[in-house]
Amino acid sequence: DVQLVESGGGLVQPGGSLRLSCAASGFTFSTYWMSWVRQAPGKGLEWVANVKEDGSVTYHSDAVKGRFTISRDNAKNSLYLHMNSLRADDTAVYYCARERPAAACAFEYWGQGTPVTVSS
Protein backbone atom coordinates (compact mmCIF):
# COMPACT_ATOMS: atom_id res chain seq x y z
CA ASP A 1 0.00 0.00 0.00
CA VAL A 2 1.10 3.53 -0.71
CA GLN A 3 2.15 5.34 2.44
CA LEU A 4 3.32 8.90 2.95
CA VAL A 5 4.41 9.83 6.46
CA GLU A 6 5.35 13.42 7.24
CA SER A 7 7.50 14.49 10.15
CA GLY A 8 9.46 17.47 11.37
CA GLY A 9 6.67 19.85 12.24
CA GLY A 10 6.50 21.76 15.49
CA LEU A 11 6.63 25.16 17.15
CA VAL A 12 9.13 27.65 15.75
CA GLN A 13 9.68 31.34 16.33
CA PRO A 14 9.11 33.91 13.60
CA GLY A 15 12.19 34.14 11.43
CA GLY A 16 13.20 30.61 12.28
CA SER A 17 13.76 27.55 10.14
CA LEU A 18 12.38 24.05 9.94
CA ARG A 19 12.84 21.03 7.71
CA LEU A 20 9.88 18.81 6.98
CA SER A 21 10.33 15.25 5.77
CA CYS A 22 8.01 12.84 4.05
CA ALA A 23 8.87 9.15 4.01
CA ALA A 24 7.35 7.29 1.08
CA SER A 25 6.73 3.57 0.80
CA GLY A 26 4.69 1.10 -1.20
CA PHE A 27 5.57 2.51 -4.60
CA THR A 28 8.54 3.41 -6.78
CA PHE A 29 9.16 6.86 -5.37
CA SER A 30 11.60 7.93 -8.08
CA THR A 31 8.94 7.74 -10.80
CA TYR A 32 6.47 10.29 -9.42
CA TRP A 33 6.22 14.04 -9.11
CA MET A 34 5.69 14.98 -5.48
CA SER A 35 4.14 18.04 -3.85
CA TRP A 36 3.69 19.82 -0.55
CA VAL A 37 0.25 21.26 0.19
CA ARG A 38 -0.64 23.17 3.35
CA GLN A 39 -3.78 24.13 5.22
CA ALA A 40 -3.90 26.95 7.74
CA PRO A 41 -6.21 26.43 10.73
CA GLY A 42 -9.83 26.65 9.62
CA LYS A 43 -8.81 27.58 6.07
CA GLY A 44 -8.67 25.96 2.67
CA LEU A 45 -5.94 24.09 0.86
CA GLU A 46 -2.89 25.85 -0.57
CA TRP A 47 -0.35 24.24 -2.87
CA VAL A 48 3.22 25.04 -1.75
CA ALA A 49 5.72 23.36 -4.07
CA ASN A 50 6.42 20.37 -6.25
CA VAL A 51 9.41 18.48 -7.63
CA LYS A 52 9.98 16.35 -10.69
CA GLU A 53 10.75 12.63 -10.44
CA ASP A 54 14.51 13.08 -10.58
CA GLY A 55 14.62 16.32 -8.60
CA SER A 56 15.83 18.36 -11.57
CA VAL A 57 12.79 20.65 -11.74
CA THR A 58 11.02 22.38 -8.89
CA TYR A 59 8.20 24.90 -8.60
CA HIS A 60 7.24 26.99 -5.60
CA SER A 61 4.20 29.14 -4.94
CA ASP A 62 4.70 32.89 -4.84
CA ALA A 63 3.85 32.83 -1.12
CA VAL A 64 6.95 30.77 -0.29
CA LYS A 65 9.33 31.51 -3.16
CA GLY A 66 12.73 32.48 -1.87
CA ARG A 67 12.00 31.16 1.63
CA PHE A 68 11.07 27.50 1.14
CA THR A 69 12.87 24.86 -0.92
CA ILE A 70 11.50 21.50 -1.93
CA SER A 71 13.91 18.64 -2.50
CA ARG A 72 13.97 14.87 -2.61
CA ASP A 73 16.34 11.97 -2.03
CA ASN A 74 15.25 9.07 -4.19
CA ALA A 75 17.79 6.74 -2.57
CA LYS A 76 16.02 7.32 0.74
CA ASN A 77 12.48 7.50 -0.72
CA SER A 78 12.11 10.84 0.97
CA LEU A 79 10.70 14.27 0.18
CA TYR A 80 11.75 17.39 2.04
CA LEU A 81 10.61 20.96 2.56
CA HIS A 82 13.25 23.32 3.86
CA MET A 83 11.52 26.34 5.39
CA ASN A 84 13.39 29.54 6.25
CA SER A 85 12.31 33.00 7.40
CA LEU A 86 9.12 31.56 8.79
CA ARG A 87 6.21 33.89 9.42
CA ALA A 88 3.00 33.59 11.42
CA ASP A 89 1.02 33.07 8.23
CA ASP A 90 3.05 29.92 7.49
CA THR A 91 1.25 28.26 10.41
CA ALA A 92 -0.53 25.28 8.89
CA VAL A 93 -0.74 21.55 8.57
CA TYR A 94 1.69 20.52 5.84
CA TYR A 95 0.82 17.53 3.68
CA CYS A 96 3.00 15.72 1.22
CA ALA A 97 1.18 14.32 -1.78
CA ARG A 98 1.92 12.12 -4.75
CA GLU A 99 0.85 13.43 -8.13
CA ARG A 100 -1.14 11.23 -10.45
CA PRO A 101 0.75 10.45 -13.64
CA ALA A 102 -0.73 11.85 -16.83
CA ALA A 103 -3.23 13.95 -14.88
CA ALA A 104 -2.13 17.52 -14.47
CA CYS A 105 -1.18 18.02 -10.82
CA ALA A 106 -3.86 15.73 -9.37
CA PHE A 107 -2.86 14.67 -5.88
CA GLU A 108 -3.82 11.01 -5.65
CA TYR A 109 -2.21 10.09 -2.34
CA TRP A 110 -1.74 12.24 0.75
CA GLY A 111 0.07 11.85 4.02
CA GLN A 112 -1.60 12.52 7.36
CA GLY A 113 0.08 15.92 7.64
CA THR A 114 2.49 17.51 10.08
CA PRO A 115 1.55 20.70 11.93
CA VAL A 116 3.77 23.76 11.90
CA THR A 117 3.14 26.63 14.29
CA VAL A 118 5.06 29.87 13.91
CA SER A 119 4.75 31.90 17.07
CA SER A 120 6.85 33.67 19.67
Partner 1 sequence: DIQMTQSPSSLSASVGDRVTITCQASQDISKYLNWYQQKPGKAPSLLIYDASNLETGVPSRFSGSGSGTDFTFTISSLQPEDVATYYCQQYGTFGPGTTVDIK
Q: Least CB distance from residue 86 to partner 1, whole Å? A: 21
Find the binder of partner 1 among 47, 67, 115, 117 (CB under 8 A): 47
Find the binder of partner 1 among 79, 111, 116, 118 (CB under 8 A): 111
Asked if 100 touches partner 1 (CB under 8 A), the answer is yes
Asked if 61 touches partner 1 (CB under 8 A), the answer is yes
DSSP annotation string for the chain = --EEEEE--EEE-TT--EEEEEEEESS-GGGS-EEEEEE-TTS-EEEEEEE-TTSS-EEE-TTTTTTEEEEEEGGGTEEEEEE-S--GGG-EEEEEEEEPTTSTT-EEEE---EEEEE--
Find the binder of partner 1 among 59, 71, 74, 77 (CB under 8 A): 59
Asked if 95 touches partner 1 (CB under 8 A), the answer is yes
Restricting to residues 4-43, name those near partner 1 by CB under 8 A. Answer: 37
Asked if 113 touches partner 1 (CB under 8 A), the answer is yes
Rounded to whole angstroms, the Cα distance separating 74 from 28 reads: 9
Task: Give the Cα-Cα-Cα angle 42, 1, 113 (nearest 5 degrees).
Answer: 20
Give contact residues for partner 1 (rule: CB under 8 A).
37, 44-47, 59, 61-62, 95, 100, 103-108, 110-113
